[in-house]
Amino acid sequence: MAAAVDSVRRPASIPRPPDRYRTFTAIVSWAAPASLILIIGVLFQQAWPAVTRFGAGFLLGTEWNPVTNTFGALPFIFGTVVTSAVAIAIALPIGIAVAVLLAEPGAQGVRGALGTGIELLAAIPSVVYGIWALYVLAPWTLLHIETPITDHLGSIPFLGGIPRQTSLFTASLVLAVMILPTLSAVSRDVIRAVPRGLRESTFALGATWWETTWKVVLPAARAGLFGASILALGRALAETVAVAMVIGNRPEIPHSVFSPGYTLAAVIANEFAEATGDVYQGALIEIGLVLILVTLTVNILALLLVHSARGRALV
């Protein structure tokens, strides 16, 4: 790294000339932490009237009715948690498989093409996923996944009811696709950080490729893989537009994953521009505050895990 010039230690007696360039760039670089602090501060200040008005009951209220000014966030919290959890469950095996292949030594050509593909998956705008999911994925899911499952396994809780095109499950599928690049890219880095000697000595003992990967490499990378999943969870919690287009936008707690629901981010996207009155707007900003505090906590936790897995301190 370029910082090597700087790390040369000087004797304390020789005064260092003031490095104004360093000071200047350091101050400019604080734009990042400053905007983070400013965002949280502004959202807190905007949401504060709503926080004091609704109290803690806001997070547990199940009714969302702008006409009567009754606002409870539980349906949105429920939808966000369920869609993100299902998305992680779908994406995890696939993401780890991709990461294992990407981290494998050799096979440069295949790896390059695969890496490009995964990167493009990350680059496609979420609204494009949204329109695709609305017109292509949702009808297909209803026909080939939701209807067969409700027909045969409908007696199992959360799998019954009348399936819909726009449902928690469809939203989870889109989310799974969208978090896959994060999951596989971070997992790849974590798996690559496993010491080579560990893998090589396992091979030397006569273990097969699968035994090396499953019993040695992946367990060694366990904490980092957990961090990668949490990071992907943060992405899933924060995703807005693609989910808003396929989740059905119904503010109630459904009895089945094949029924319409709502998420924290989606309700802000759909209702904020039309929200009339301070109470309604305040409730939506408070939802935004809850969302950003949860995602930031999740992200910091994930970064801690991933960094310690790569053997670097976070701060």
Partner 1 sequence: MSNNLWRRFISAFALSTVYLFTALALVPLGLVLWFTATQGLPAVTHLEFFINAQRPSGIPGGGVANAIAGTAVIVGIASLAAIPIGVLGGIYLAEYGVSRWANWVRLASDVLVGAPSIALGLFAYALVVVPLHHFSGISASVALAVLMLPVVIRTTEGAVGLIPNGLRESGLALGIPRWRVSLQLILPAAAPGVITGALLAVARAAGETAPVLFTAFGNQFLTLDPSHAMSTLPLVVFRDALTPYKDLQQEAWGAALLLVVMVLVINLGSRWVLRRQIRLAQQL
Name which of 100 and 257 has its Cβ closer to partner 1: 100
The minimum distance between CB 102 and partner 1, in angstroms, equals 9
Tell me the C-alpha distance between 72 and 278, whole Å. Answer: 16
Would you say 209 or 277 has its CB closer to partner 1?
Answer: 209
When binding is defined by CB under 8 A, the residue of 81, 85, 241, 253 that contacts partner 1 is 241
Question: Is residue 138 at the binding interface for partner 1, with CB under 8 A as the rule?
Answer: no
Taking residues 15 to 34 in sequence order and writing x for each that binds partner 1 by CB under 8 A, - otherwise, the string is ----xxxx-xxx-xxxxxx-
One-letter identity of residue 111: R
Smallest separation, CB 169 to partner 1 (Å)? 16
Q: Does 143 bind partner 1 (CB under 8 A)?
A: no
56 contributes a contact to partner 1 by CB under 8 A:
no
Select the residue interacting with partner 1 from 117, 139, 195, 277 (CB under 8 A): 117
220 vs 287 by CB, closer to partner 1: 287
Q: What are phi and psi of 150, to 5 degrees?
A: -65, -30
Site for partner 1 in 64-93 (CB under 8 A): 93
CB of 143 to partner 1, least distance (A): 16
Residue 32 Cβ, how far from partner 1 at the closest point, in Å? 5
| Least distance between partner 1 and beta carbon 157 (Å) | 28
Residue 240 Ramachandran class (φ > 0 left, ψ -120 to 50 alpha, else beta): alpha
The one among 59, 193, 211, 310 contacting partner 1 by CB under 8 A: 211
Nearest CB to partner 1, comparing residues 122 and 223:
122
Number of residues near partner 1 (by CB under 8 A): 89
Q: Measure the CA–CA gap between 264 and 51, rounded to whole angstroms.
A: 16
| Beta carbons within 8 Å of 294's beta carbon, 6+ residues apart | 237
Query: Which residue's CB is nearer to partner 1, number 85 or number 294?
Result: 294
> Binder to partner 1 among 74, 77, 103, 118 (CB under 8 A)?
118
Q: Of the candidates 298, 292, 264, which has an alpha carbon nearest to the alpha carbon of residue 58? A: 264
Q: Is 247 in the site for partner 1 (CB under 8 A)?
A: no
Single residue of 216, 218, 285, 305 touching partner 1 by CB under 8 A: 285
Which of 51, 59, 81, 134 is in the footprint of partner 1 by CB under 8 A? Answer: 134
